[in-house]
Amino acid sequence: MQPEKRRRVPLKIQLEVALRQLGLDPKTAQLDHNPALARRRINPVTGEHIPHQHDPSCLEWLDGSVHKVKTAVDIREIRKTDRLVEKQIRHEHRRDERRQSREAQ
């Protein structure tokens, strides 16, 4: 009987082996966007993230528990940035209103 013909290793098996070699449990490992998608610029013409959301240089495998913590930190920092931007916009609006009222006098 002839030995089984050598076949290509399925991508799913390749991924599992790679994750184990990285010290991650394939059942709990999660792919993380770094930087977070909400922190990336958006191309106004295409609506795509810059860099693209599937850019391999901006994706990394993390343990599920580490990913959960990182995501929580990202969310907190994104919300803080949003609050600061809103505060700056309100400040600029008030400044412009004061400037216009002085010019009108």
| Pairwise CA distance, residues 56 & 96, whole Å | 44
What local confidence, expressed as pLDDT, does residue 18 receive? 96
At 101 the pLDDT is: 85
pTM of the shown model = 0.74
Q: Which residues of the chain have pLDDT under 50?
A: none
- Which residues have a Cβ under 8 Å from the Cβ of 49 and sit 6 or more positions away? 37, 40, 41, 42, 43
List of residues 6+ apart from 50 with CB closer than 8 A = 40, 41, 42, 43
Query: Could you report the per-residue pLDDT of 47-70, keeping only the tens digit for each?
Result: 999 999 999 999 999 999 999 999
